[in-house]
A = this chain, B = another copy of it.
Amino acid sequence: MFRLSKITDYGIVLLAHLAKRAPGLGTQATSHNARELASEVDLPVPVVSKILKSLTRAGVLESHRGAKGGYSLARRPEDLSVVEMITALDGPVALTQCNMGTEVCEHEGSCAVRNPWQVINQVVRYSLSGVTLADLINPSFSAQHAPLSSLGRYMQGEPPRSRVS
């Protein structure tokens, strides 16, 4: 199947919720704990906790342990792309296994489509890297088809704006 896992789906919902609820960056003051977030988003606590841990390990969130601890965004929503969220939760964005890098494809000799797939992957990656967390929580975004503008910038040679420099 082409769709991504529920964990990734939930994770993006959580990030959007965090961005909406605490626009400020990750100080202790703006952090929310897993139980609180779970009830707000209406998902089981262990699941939310697991997702938040993954996002923290990937550097998307910051964690504060101990009493009054919790999670908060590690970056501004404008600086967090959809590609990075998906990568953090689901691994690298690659449509075919040949493009995963590490493992060797045993059909390499007879495989005629390796390079084209790489181009396709690149296009998908770039289109998704043009959409940021800030876009996701912007109500006027969906109506405007905004990601296309970032694609336009990409086509003119400009790197996607969400890229961390």
**A contact set with B: CB distance below 8 Å:** 1-6, 8-9, 12-13, 16-17, 20, 40-43, 82, 86, 90-98, 100, 107, 109-113, 115-120, 122-124, 127-128, 131, 135-137, 141-142, 145-148, 151-152, 154-155
Contacts and interface: CB of A to CB of B under 8 A. Distances in A.
Contacts of A127: 120, 123-124, 127
Contacts of A119: 131, 141-142, 145-147
B151 A123 contact: yes
Number of copies: 2
30 contacts: A1-B5, A1-B90, A2-B8, A2-B86, A2-B92, A2-B94, A2-B95, A3-B96, A4-B96, A6-B97, A9-B96, A9-B98, A12-B113, A13-B111, A17-B110, A17-B112, A20-B112, A42-B107, A112-B136, A115-B141, A116-B136, A119-B131, A119-B145, A119-B147, A120-B127, A120-B128, A120-B147, A123-B128, A151-B151, A152-B155
Contact of A4 (B2, B5, B122, B151): B2
Contacts of A123: 127-128, 131, 147-148, 151
B146 A155 contact: no
A82 to B, nearest CB: 6
B118 A142 contact: yes
Nearest to A83: B2
Contacts of A146: 119
A87 to B, nearest CB: 9
